Each structure stands twice: as C-alpha cells, then as structure tokens.
Structure 1
C-alpha cells in the first residue's frame, strides 16, 4: 500500500494535490494541537507535588481531592460543549476562517487567565480560564474539520481532515513529555506546574497568526452569494484555471448541490434546524454523527488520557516519575500510529473497516488488561522488587497494543466521517451537534472516571471493552463507506434504497458513469464558464 495510492472519483490533475491545500489544512488543524496538549498535560500537572503543595491538597479527603481534580479537568469539556454550538452562528455568518480566528482568540484569553492562578488567589482563575479555553477549542473543533473537508480533493479528504488528528497527537506527545521534563529537571515550585499551562499559548498563537495567510472556504463563499470570490479561492487552492475540465466538473457539482439545498433545505440560519426536525435523511445523519462520538468516548481513550497516572498505577506502575515516563511512551506510540493512519490507512482501507477492525482488536486487549488486574490485583500486591512482574509487563504490552488498534480507528476517524457526510447548508449545524456530543461524552468521562476506578476497579476495563464490541454492530449495519465520495454526492450514499455495506460501490460506479457523460457533453457542445460572469481576476490562478 503506497503513500501515493489515491482512490480518485474521476481523473484528477496532479497539481490539485499541491502544497497550498496541505498548508491550509495544517493551519486550521493547529487547534487540535491545543486540544491534544490539554488532554495530555492536565492530569500529570495536577499530580505534581508542587501543585498539591501550593493548594494545600493534604487538607482534602480522597473523595474531595478526586472531585476537585475532576472539576478542573471537566469544566474545559463543558466550555467546549457550548463552544461547538457557538461555532454554528460564527460559521454561518462570518465564515470558517474568521470563525476560527475568533475561537483561537478566545482560547488565548482563557490560557492567559490560567497563568494568574496561584495559591493565594485560589483556583477561581484556573476554572474561568479553562472554561474560556474550552469554548475556544469547542468552536474550533466544529469549524476545523468542516473547513478542511470543503477545500479537500475527495481522494485525499481523509488524509487532510486526518491532520486534525495528527495535531491532536503532536499536542499529546508534547504535553506528556513536558510533564516528565518539569518533574525531572525542576524543583518543586510554582514555576514547575505553571510552565505546562503557559505552553498552551504557543500553538494557539501560531494558529491565530497562520489564519491570516490562508483562504476562506470556496464552498462557503458560493453559498453566501460570493461566487466570484469563491471561484477565485478555488482556483488558487487547486492551482488550475477555471476553464480546466476538473474545475468545470467541480463547480458544476457545487452549483447543483447549492440549487438542491436552496430548493429543499434553504440557505438561511434557521432552515437547517427545520431540516433536522422534518427531513428524516438529515436527522438520521445527525444521529449517526452524535453516536460515533458516543462510541469513541466509551472506548476508554479519554479516561486514559486524562487519568493516565491512575491507569498505570492500576497495572502496577509505581512512582510519579515512572508513571509520567510510561505515559510519555504512550503518547509517542499514539503519534507514530497516527502517522501510519494518516498516510496509509484512512484513504485506502477506509473509514468503515478501520472502525470495525480497531474496535475488535482494542476490545480483546482491554479484556486482557482487566483480567490481569482482577487476578493479580497489583495495587494491593505490589512486586517486592518494586518492578513490574512478568504478568504486569504482559498487561502493559496489551495496553500498548490496544493503543495501536484504537489510534488508527476510533481516535480520528469519527472526526473525518462527520466532516464529510452532511449536505452543504446543514454541514455546520451537523458538525456542531457532533462536536458538542463529543465534548458532552468527554465531559462525562472526565467528570466521573476517577470515581469509576475507585468503585469498579478492573471492571472499568471490561466495561469499555464490551462497549467496543457493541460499536462493531453499530458500524456494520448503519455506516456506509465515505472514502473518495465527493461532498456533493453524499446524499446518494445515504439513500434509503442502498444498504450501508454496499452503498459505496454503487455510488462510485454511478459517479464514474456521470463523469463520462459530463465530459462527452462538454466536449461535444464546447460549453465553458463565462469569464465575464466571474470577473477577470478569477479567470486564472493567482501568481504564487
């Protein structure tokens, strides 16, 4: 399987896969670096003795300390839940690019507030800052996948939206190792625990600046009546003239989809809500989108991300620094596997197969880890040498194997799927519901995980493994494959007449037939785009 093996819906000029589309996607995906960094650093930072000393942790009971930790972690997800819905209005009226600028600015404000936290002032600024930062990443988590999917050529759409997941893992690796670095190299002090909070400003600032240098989504511009600007941006992103056959086909498809949306759903702010209520095809896709994030979050990933020291302690890893080191290795494994997913799997093996294979393999691994803890009880029977036993080593191996199964399947694929399956004028609202459902389930996991480990012990692993098995049934019967399907053809894919497991093959065959007919008609009639209609500036690609 080659990195260059692309599944194209029609003959595509090689210049379409150019650096502009990759750079634009990478800038937008920087919001995921902020999210991944938070998920990795926050649990480890709260576990630092310097943080506990400054806020007099010893005065709390175990239950009280768990509650405060859960609140600090979970208010971020609560803010993100509302931010995902705020992004619908921003994306509809202001566009994808300006919306991302606003939410990255909100995140910067929140991260700045956190830096004012100290023992004297208490935790108030930390709570407020994390709520604002959550709103920022919640809004960006809505708009980023949409923006990338709307500018991506179909053959590499999964790869480009996958940059969002790659950013998440890069942030995670940095977060894990920053915690380890400050714990190993710095004395216990205010600076030791505040530095990880300050580093959040770096990816947020880079994203905010980078957004000034990329183009607005052409498809959003078309829906807002800014046709000339939309065509100009599309020509710049594709590096093609508007007279190129590929451009003729793409603009024709956008026009047809826009006309269909105008005649059915409508192009106003409230029409997508009406479609959600009255159109069963739309509401069904909303259900699928939200359900995907239910299954993602009940796989156990965020319990492990936010409370990794607790997870490794349950397997038998002892010592704060050793736990942080083990967590850092976990982050590196996820990042490496994400690169493989990004370039080799998502646009080749496809979304549907990845979700099913990953769930099955991941469930087997978690069953093993849970069974080991149930039998060996390493927390109450530690090794005399202080090192992991052979059984503990095997449990760690299966835990990392679970990471290898989970990361290229449920970690990023739901984001890709949601970014592409909705019709154009419903896409922002659909992604808002999907992203909000992710943050809602994320919040519930972050809020109650510590208590789950206390109450259920090894049962937590068996619980998550069983839900992963159930997710296979959901995917097999309800999700059609979306790889290589143009955004404007998603309605065909989700047609009630097609069984999900066969829909992809049928639609791809129809698309090839339609493409041949379109080319024959254009070549036979000499039809082209009227340059006067779009303006001279959009006639050719801008100079680099």
Structure 2
C-alpha cells in the first residue's frame, strides 16, 4: 500500500494550518514594532484598544468564514471549499498591504483598509479550520488519522515559529522609521495562500467520503484507490467486494462510504438542524463544543497573541528581547507538536494526554501568576530577585506551551473531525469550529484589558480553566484514538441512527449486526459490501 498520495494531499490541505499558525505568530510581534505604531499613529493610551480590535476582527472573520463555508463544504465538496479558502485568504493579505499605499495623512483610511484585510484573511483561515481537518479525516485510514492530524498541528506550529522569528528578524533588519519593518512579516502571509490555491486546483482529489455522500460510489472507490495505492490505483469496485483481495482497513473504508451513502439518502427526508438534537448526536456535539471552549480558554491564545507584551511585563522591556523570547516560545511549541506526532500519539490515548496537559498547564500558570504578582509589587526595580522571578515566569510560559502542544492543541481538532455521524458531520463540525472561533474572539477582546486591569490574576483565571478541563475530561471524554469512522465510532458513543443500533462486533469470523434488538450473524467471507449497495438500489 502506497502512502505518497494521501500524504501529499494532506500536506497541501495543511497549508490552512500555515495560515492559522502564521496569523497567530506574527501579529503579536508587529503590534509592538515602533514602525507599526508610527504608521498608524498609535499612542500608548489607546494601544490596548487597537491591539484588541486588530486581533479580534481577524477572529471574528474566522467565525463568519466557518458559517459561510458550511454550505460550500457540504454541497460543492471539500476540494472546492479549500480553493475558496485560499482565494479569500490571499485577497485579505493584499488588502493589508494596500494600507501602505495610502497617504500618511489618511491614518483612519489606512487602519480601515488594514482591518478589512484582517477580516478577509481571518475568514479564509476560518474556512480552512472547518474543511481541512474534515478533509484529512476523510482521506485517511484509521491508523493514519492520528499522525496526519498531528502533522496539521506541526504545520501550524512551524508557521507560528516563522511568524515569531520573522518579526524578530524584520525588527533587526529595518530601522524603526521604515514601513518595511512591519510589511515584510505581513507579506509572508501570502505564501501558504498561493500554495493552497495552486495545489487545490491542480493536485488535490475530492474526498472519497463526500463523493459517496453524493451517490458517486464508483468515483469514491477510485479516488480512495489512488490515495492509498499510488500508481497501482487501477482498482475496480469488484476488488472491494472480495475480502481476500483487500485489507481490513479498506473493508472498513467501503463500509464507511456505504454508510455515508445510506445516511445521505435518508437525510434528504429530515431536517438537518433537527438531527443535531437527536439525543446521542447532541451528546457528541456538546462534548465537542465544551472541548473546543476549554482549549480556547486555557490561556494559549493570550500567550500566542500577546507573548511579547507578556515578556515585557516580566521585565524584558526591550523590543528585541521580548521578540527573541517569543521566538523561543515558538520553538517550544514546535517541539511539542513534533513530539506528539512522532511519539506521544502512538503510545497512549487522547484522554490520557489531555489529562496530563491540563494538569501541567494549570500548575505552570499558577506559578506564572505568583511570579508576575511578585514582579509587579517590585514596581519594575531591577534586582536579583526580580530577575529570578522574571526568568521563572518565562520558563512557565515555555512549560505551558509544551504541554498544551501534546494535549489540548492537537486532540480537540482531531476529536471534532472524527466523532460525528456521517449525515451531520459537516454541520456538527461547523458548530464546534464556530464555537472555537467565538471563544477565541471573546478571549482576544478581553485579554488586553484583563492584563491591564487584573494583572497577575489573569493567569489564575486561566489556571482554573485548566483544572476544570482535567476533571471534565476524566469524567466525560471517551477514547476515540484509532477508532474507524462509521459504525465503530457509533459503538463508542452507543449511538442510534434512524432506528439502527450500530453495535457491531466481530465474533469467530462473523459480523454481528443488531437491528431493532434482533441479532443477525453474517459470515465475513460471504459479506460483500458492494452487494449491499446494489441491493439498496
């Protein structure tokens, strides 16, 4: 079995992670650049409000981008939705750069154009965060899924690292009076947009699961074969009907697209919004929303967007020093993402790593709060003790970044992309992704004022959220690592779909299906998934 094509497709789709990661990485740096404040005539007394607006409008754009992407993703397909994502994002970058061409006297116009560009690029990122995890889930086999989702996180952290260090280098290369100092980091945003736009048009296949939902089962099988067999993809549907000619993973795949086709047919006769309130669909949806909310409110966004400001508050007041520490922060996040992809995801389940992550994040933020409190009370005096507390505060930021990267960060997105029933997966992912962006927007608006008003107590609040996450995950979060899509995932949640209880078990070479509490044992060697499909027709 070849993996080149599926990895290539997942890599192109992961350009959306580059958009997301770079957007969070560079903006905190340019907000403290002297050239940025000079260009937009920002004064110290109104800087917090402008910082909040510039960041929150990007997040608001992402929120509405997810809402607008849902019908495109569901009706036109995942590939076309990725192309739309790239086009909107690239247009937003162009608008941000247009703000430099306005006369210097038109400060208000400059800011409006820049914020419009931020809104559009945020919308593109929002579209990407909905469709890319879903696309990666649908093109991969169960044993590939965890690693490919982790690679999406790795791409995000690499891009954030480029954003952190790109701003640092730009600060050193250009004088404080030059607009190039802040426009070069903005310009670099366009690269992942172009890669996704070209790759989406020329190279990406459509999701085979979406094709099956559209009744294009033969095309879905050929696409799946191309993804997983490479040059030997001339495989007909008959291959999948023979258990001797294919792998167990591919039988699971065909069963999942067969389920998808069945659900697509039945869903035409029901209200999709009403389907969200089926008891055990609602159960999954609530868990996805809560998991996204807890991830967002853990403190990671406060550190992502305002890391330079935080390092300055810890005593590293020089712009270069705070940007250097922000670059190290990005390195730690990348190390965490790589560690999760290459090791942690393979040795223990999702519940374990979220629990470890939440506990470590709660403890590190508690120590950070104590250090910042002590430092604040010293009124900025440079003493050996002050240096110790400042260094400890920075260390706690790095500890938080690492443990967040092996828990909350990758697992929340993976969970929401894989657990929902086939007929409502796009709609459910829209709801969970929108909730993530909504909480991010609230967080971004509130954090500058919390840091200015509540000071060290801000980190106590975030520490408490992580403590809540630890208890909630222990009680309510099921284990989904390595579970196949469709009936096997239904079994994890003991779901009921349209009167069919999805309890499927393998017993002595038989597939046992329970329909309305009646067991029917079907010998595996006589099971033809294509025959099921033909009999339905």
- Sort the TM-score into its range (normalised by shorter chain): 0.7 to 0.9
Residue 329 of structure 1: aligned partner: 328
1:51-90 map, 5 Å: 51-58=36-43, 62=45, 64-90=46-72
Larger RCO (CA under 8 A, 6+ residues apart): 1
Residue 466 of structure 1: aligned partner: 464
Residue 114 of structure 2: aligned partner: 126
Residue 318 of structure 2: aligned partner: 319
Q: Tell me the alpha carbon deviations over residues 347-404 of structure 1, each in whole angstroms, 9 at most, x when there is no partner.
A: 431211111110001111111111122233277233158x962232223222211222
**Aligned 8 A contact 2:355 2:473 in 1:** yes
Gapped regions of structure 1 (runs ≥ 5): 1-14, 498-506, 534-544
Residue 218 of structure 1: aligned partner: 208
Which of 409, 415, 418 is 2:416 aligned to? 418
Q: Does 1:406 align with 2:391?
A: no
Q: Find the aligned partners of 1:260 and 1:37 in 2 and give their Cα distance.
A: 38
Which of 155, 160, 166 is 2:154 aligned to? 166
Residue 518 of structure 2: aligned partner: none
Q: CA 1:52 to 1:362, structure 2 compared with 1: closer, same or farther past 3 Å?
A: same
Q: CA 1:250 to 1:370, structure 2 compared with 1: closer, same or farther past 3 Å?
A: same
**Aligned 8 A contact 1:105 1:136 in 2:** yes
Q: Find the aligned partners of 2:118 and 2:315 in 1 and give their Cα distance.
A: 32
Residue 115 of structure 1: aligned partner: 97
Q: Find the aligned partners of 2:366 and 2:94 in 1 and give their Cα distance.
A: 42
> How far did 1:522 drift?
6.6
Residue 29 of structure 1: aligned partner: 14
Q: How many residues align?
A: 498
Q: Find the aligned partners of 1:35 and 1:405 in 2 and give their Cα distance.
A: 20
Q: Find the aligned partners of 2:528 and 2:495 in 1 and give their Cα distance.
A: 35
Q: Does 1:136 align with 2:124?
A: yes
Q: Normalising by structure 1, what TM-score?
A: 0.87
Q: Find the aligned partners of 1:409 and 1:152 in 2 and give their Cα distance.
A: 21
Q: CA 1:162 to 1:511, structure 2 compared with 1: closer, same or farther past 3 Å?
A: farther
> How far did 1:426 drift?
0.8
**Aligned 8 A contact 1:316 1:382 in 2:** no
Q: Tell me the alpha carbon deviations over residues 391-446 of structure 1, each in whole angstroms, 9 at most, x when there is no partner.
A: 32223222211222111111121001100011112111111111111111111111
**Aligned 8 A contact 1:346 1:413 in 2:** no
Q: Normalising by structure 2, what TM-score?
A: 0.88
Q: Tell me the alpha carbon deviations over residues 191-238 of structure 1, each in whole angstroms, 9 at most, x when there is no partner.
A: 111111111101110111111202100010001011111111011112
Q: CA 1:95 to 1:527, structure 2 compared with 1: closer, same or farther past 3 Å?
A: closer
Which of 179, 185, 189 is 2:173 aligned to? 185
> How far did 1:172 drift?
0.3
Q: Find the aligned partners of 1:528 and 1:328 in 2 and give their Cα distance.
A: 52
The two structures, once aligned, show a CA RMSD in angstroms of: 2.4
**Aligned 8 A contact 1:43 1:306 in 2:** yes
Q: Find the aligned partners of 1:124 and 1:331 in 2 and give their Cα distance.
A: 30
Q: Find the aligned partners of 1:526 and 1:405 in 2 and give their Cα distance.
A: 45
Q: Does 1:291 align with 2:276?
A: no
**Aligned 8 A contact 1:74 1:446 in 2:** yes
1:389-400 map, 5 Å: 389-400=387-398
Residue 134 of structure 2: aligned partner: 146
Q: Does 1:209 align with 2:214?
A: no
